[in-house]
Amino acid sequence: MNEEGRISIFTIFQTLKSKTARLLEPVVQAEGLTPLQASVLLHLSQQDAAVGDISGATCMGQANASSLCKKLEQSGFLTRSRGAADGRVVTLSLTPKGRETVERIQRRLDHYLELLNALPDRAREELARGFQAADQMLDYLFEQTKGDQNLC
């Protein structure tokens, strides 16, 4: 394959990141959040979690995740409580303000789903296949390289 025909993995990653950011940032910025902060709140809306769980889910170091969660706590979005059995474990839970914020974000994101659902069946099926292929590609690349580099 010649250079012109090669897929630039960097271009793929950057395109996905920038286009996702253009859609996601206005949604979360309306709540005074960054996409990463919103990701933490959305994760906690599914279940309470330890700081280590947030670290893994967001692909950031535990100290950075802890700092991010402290800021979210200071802003009233979540609470941090020490485990009764093991005081080293900090469990994070959404506050009512955090839950309300997640609901507003989810409603805004649901608008994107409505737009996608308005597409013809064939277009939706093609997008779903494309998403699955991209997801598989990223999983494959992560699995193949996780011993080579510290990607998270």
Question: For the chain, what is the mean pLDDT?
Answer: 88
Is 100 part of a structural domain of the chain?
yes
Is 147 part of a structural domain of the chain?
no
Is 144 part of a structural domain of the chain?
no
**pLDDT tens-digit readout, 84-119:** 777 777 799 999 999 999 999 999 999 999 999 999
Among residues 38, 52, 58, which one has the least CA distance to residue 80? 52
Residues 140, 18, 150, 34, CA torsion sign: negative
Q: Which residues contact 68 (CB under 8 A, 6 or more apart)?
A: 36, 37, 40, 54, 58, 60
DSSP state of 30: T
Is 92 part of a structural domain of the chain?
yes
Is 132 part of a structural domain of the chain?
no
Q: Over range 132-144, report the average pLDDT.
A: 88
Q: Which residue has the higher pLDDT, 140 or 148?
A: 140
Give the domain extent around 47.
9-118
How many domains does the chain divide into? 1
Q: Is the pLDDT of residue 150 over 70?
A: no
Q: Over range 46-57, report the average pLDDT.
A: 91
Q: 139: helix, coil or strand?
A: helix
Is 62 part of a structural domain of the chain?
yes
For residue 77, which phi and psi values (nearest 5 degrees)? -85, -25
Q: What pTM does this model have?
A: 0.80
Is 148 part of a structural domain of the chain?
no
Q: How confident is the model at residue 58 (pLDDT cuts 50, 70, 90)?
A: confident
Is 138 part of a structural domain of the chain?
no
Specify the CATH number for the domain of residue 38: 1.10.10.10
Dist. CA 143–CA 74, nearest whole Å: 37
Q: How confident is the model at residue 43 (pLDDT cuts 50, 70, 90)?
A: very high
